[in-house]
Amino acid sequence: MKILCYQIALSFTIASLPLQPTLAQPQHLDVAFYCGRVQIQDSGERKMMPATVVQVKGTEGERTLVVWKNGFKNMSPLERCETVSKRFQAAWQRGDFKKFAPQSNNKNGLGILCALSFQGKACTEKDILFTVKNANEANKIVADLYQSLQNATVGRPIYQSSSSQSIDMQELINGISNSTDK
């Protein structure tokens, strides 16, 4: 009878211990992608330009991802910034935004940048974040962002104006939440 009481007490004690999250579990951070404005030096003069920015709420971590110097088709740089920033946010909220990757659109030859749930996934219409002139430009944009992350130059944006790598978005967001870059 004493053994049974000890087993019940031990089981109750173990069951009542709080579970601690492990480092392997993904962090669920409150993230906002939005169209902001940044000051850049262009042809010797300072200009305010629209930019897609990501911010981890509750921290001072913020990063300019893309500065929109040129429009595309019938969209001004500001309209493009607002549209693309909303696409970034929608993909993040859906939980599909694990990889930021380039692909080519075989229909019209344009390069596309996609929010993908895994490396190698085909980019569907809902995955497209924005288009560029060709696949080489899409690859260059991802390579530039990847290089800025590798060099730890936090805050260096992609300038979107005129190797198939991808960016791990959770790693990017975690890096932002651990920085105080504004």
129-158 in b/e burial notation, b at 16+ Cβ within 10 A?
bbbbeebebbbbbbbbbbebbeeeebebbb
Q: Is residue 62 part of a domain?
A: yes
Residue 16 lies in a domain: no
Has residue 20 been placed in a domain? no
> Which residues constitute the domain of residue 105?
27-177
Q: Is 130 a member of any domain? A: yes
pTM above 0.75?
no
Q: In total, how many domains does the chain have?
A: 1
Q: Can you tell me whether residue 5 is helix, strand or coil?
A: helix
pLDDT tens, 95-144? Answer: 888 888 888 776 777 888 888 888 888 889 999 999 888 888 888 888 87
Q: Is residue 13 in some structural domain?
A: no
The answer to whether position 90 is within a domain reads: yes
Is residue 84 domain-resident? yes
* CA distances (Å), origin 132, targets 30, 59, 68, 106, 170: 29, 32, 12, 13, 24
- pLDDT tens for residues 58-102? 777 778 888 898 878 889 999 999 999 999 999 999 988 888 888
